[in-house]
Amino acid sequence: MNTTINPAVLHAPAGAYSHIVQVPGDARWTVLSGQIGVRPDGSVPDGIEAETEQTYQNIKTALGVTGLGLKDVVKFTVYLTDAAFIDAFFRVRARVLGTHRPASTLLIVSGLMKPEWHIEIDCIAAQS
């Protein structure tokens, strides 16, 4: 089981994440490609909130293949194409993650592979 730690020597996290996640030595790791908000039929939902929901749905589906789930996520790296999307992203993340608090990095980038994509989330997970 992974352990999340927010040590007293650091400031409290500014959102739904943990400063530290510790993974036991016998864990098996799963690495995902950056997931985007594209549905299985190739379409992109309208609006950043729906796009974010679809991105997390893809992450859940992809982790499920190797028997892992969102609770096993060690680290997210989130790329948004506009800082104006942060509030919507936070809302969806709070809904999707519940009480799970992986380590996290958030970046605003000037673009992704296609201009119609506004969010991409990287993810690495481990289960022992």
Taking the least distance from each CB to other proteins, the nearer of 7 and 25 is 25
- Least CB distance to other proteins at residue 48 (A): 17
Query: Alpha carbon 84 to chain centroid distance?
Result: 18
| Residue 18 or 58 with smaller CB distance to other proteins | 58
Binding mask 64-103 for other proteins (x = CB under 8 A): xxx----------x-x------------------------
Phi, psi of 100 (to 5 degrees): -75, 135
For β-strands 103-108 and 73-80, DSSP reports them as: parallel
Residue type at 123 in one-letter notation: C
CB of 11 to other proteins, least distance (A): 27
Do 107 and 78 touch, CB atoms closer than 8 A?
Answer: yes
Tokens at 46, concatenated:
């309208």
Site size toward other proteins (CB under 8 A) is 34
Residue pointed to by tokens 């089981």:
1
Which spans of this chain sit near other proteins (rule: CB under 8 A)?
26-35, 38-42, 58, 61-66, 77, 79, 107, 109-113, 115, 120, 122, 128
